[in-house]
Amino acid sequence: MAHRAGAPARGQHRRRIAVSAEAMMTPACRPCRRRMIQVLATAALALGAWGFAPQAGASDEAAFAAAYNAAAEARKAVRKAGFEWRDLRTLLRESKKLGEKGEYEKAVELANQVQRQAELGLMQAAEQESAWETAVLK
Amino acid sequence: MRAALIALLGAGLVLGLGVARGAPEDDRKAFQDFYTERFPDTPFEDFANGLYSIDENRREEWEQMEEFPQYEFDIDAGEELFHEPFANGKGYADCFPDYESGVRQNYPHWDPGRAEVVTMELAINLCREQHGEKPLKYYRGPLAQISAYLAYLSRGNVIDVKVPADDPRALAAYEEGKRHYYSRRGQLNFSCASCHVDAVGRLLRAELVGPALGQVSHFPVFRKTWREITTLHRSYAACSRQLRAASFGPQSREYRNLEFFHTYMSNGIPLNGPGSRH
């Protein structure tokens, strides 16, 4: 199954790097000093790249693209199983529209909703694989 | 040796399934018994009137509607369309030579050549295509009108859908329709049976749920709320969406197989289409 959508938002990236760097700086972690330098260098590079990024934030756009693609894949899978729920199509279309307008946060939220409902539909399909027979009039 | 083993396994599986799922005739009997026991005051043939076979007040209202039915215009329009020749000089009558005595009771049927279920509406479009005409849209309009005309000529004929026993593909299509009918779908986690079997005769948000027996006999239907003549698959789609599932397309394999099962369950009920509905 497609991986869960939603790469971390900007702030989260920075925080995670900071935390791991801090942990490496304790005296107990001398052997990982080289690793620390690597991490810091990567962070610096990332920050540098940030400065050149367009206003909206390339990582937001990427996060949206990942969330949207994962949602579209999940929808395809549940359609194939014949258990798509009613609103997936509209929600996905809405998500795309918002993404094109640069409203990434809302767009990702809708894409995640699509993914969740698609997964529930797939669970329903798996359950009904045998459950339907218990309902048959006999 | 290996092939023989696989064949044996396959045969066992088919036998096993056959026993577990019961033959269409057993299904039909159980289905019809359920409704005749649930509504002992409704004569069997009267289930053709759907919802109105089980509710006095709504029936009176409906009988008034049927005095000046709005579908009459559609029957007339359908008659005209039916007799309009195609560009090649042929017409629908070449595809449906017995139309005058009614053909609708034979639909849907299993078509072994096409290896699929053919409904009345699909047959109309196949006829067009065979004679080089573009297919018509399925939910409403000219196709629904032609279907209404053919339904009208078939009034009183008894539904007689067959699942040929000598073709396992036909049984598979029937099984798929049956499975669709009883499978829970959508955000509400309802099946067709959740409402039309389990909740039959009960109010659901001010709507009375009608029996599935006889539900197909009066199509196409002029629905007051939709203000037009509409085909069966539009009702399927509306109910799919009501349980918050995505609908399948009109004349999709899913809905044709559903119709195959659904109509088989009403074998023995006289046709009385087109009908008026709220």
Residue type at B36 in one-letter notation: T
CA dist B185 to A93, A131, B230, B258, Å?
Answer: 22, 12, 24, 14
Q: What is the pLDDT of residue B267?
A: 97
CA dist A41 to A8, A35, B1, B189, B225, Å?
Answer: 20, 10, 65, 52, 67
Tokens 């669709």 correspond to B180
Q: Which two tokens stand for residue B108?
A: 């849907």
Q: What is the pLDDT of residue B12?
A: 46
**Residue to test with chain B: of A132, A133, A134, most B Cβ within 10 A:** A132
The question of whether B192 is a catalytic residue gets the answer no
Q: What is the pLDDT of residue B188?
A: 97
Q: What percent of chain B has pLDDT over 90?
A: 87
Q: Which value does ipTM take for this structure?
A: 0.87
**How much is the pTM?**
0.84
Q: What is the pLDDT of residue A11?
A: 39
**Residue to test with chain B: of A76, A86, A116, A117, most B Cβ within 10 A:** A86
- For residues B57 and B62, what is the distance between their CA atoms, to the nearest angstrom? 9
Q: What is the pLDDT of residue B22?
A: 61
Longest dimension (CA), chain A: 74
Which B residues, 186 through 215, put their C-beta within 8 Å of a C-beta on chain A? 186-187, 189, 191, 193-194, 197
Closest CA to A74 of A132, A39, A32, A116: A116
Q: What is the pLDDT of residue B278?
A: 85
**What's the pLDDT tens digit per position in B176-202?**
999 999 999 999 999 999 999 999 999
Closest CA to A79 of A125, A37, A112, A111: A125
Q: Which two tokens stand for residue A1?
A: 């199954």
Query: Are A83 and B178 a contacting pair at CB < 8 A?
Result: no
The secondary element (H helix, E strand) that includes residue A20 is: helix A10-24
Residues of chain A in Cβ contact (below 8 Å) with chain B: 79, 82-89, 117, 124, 127-128, 131-133, 135-138
Give the pLDDT band of residue A49 (cuts 50, 70, 90): very low
| Mean pLDDT of each 10-residue bin along chain B, 278 residues long | 50 46 88 97 94 92 90 97 98 98 97 98 98 97 98 98 95 98 98 97 93 97 94 98 97 98 98 93
Q: What is the pLDDT of residue A42?
A: 55
**What's the pLDDT tens digit per position in A72-99?**
999 999 999 999 999 999 999 999 999 9
Backbone angles phi, psi at B132, to 5 degrees: 75, 20
* Domain layout of chain A by residue ranges: 54-126
Q: Are strands B203-204 and B221-223 parallel, antiparallel or unpaired?
A: unpaired
- State whether residue B219 is helix, strand or coil: coil
- For residues A57 and A51, what is the distance between their CA atoms, to the nearest angstrom? 10
Q: What is the pLDDT of residue A36?
A: 52
- For residues B69 and B60, what is the distance between their CA atoms, to the nearest angstrom? 14
**Please, which residues bridge with residue B276 across strands?**
B222
What is B61-118 written as a DSSP string? HHHHHHHS-TTHHHHHHHHHHHHSPPTTS--HHHH-TTGGG--GGG-SEEETTTTEEE
Query: Are A132 and B21 a contacting pair at CB < 8 A?
Result: no
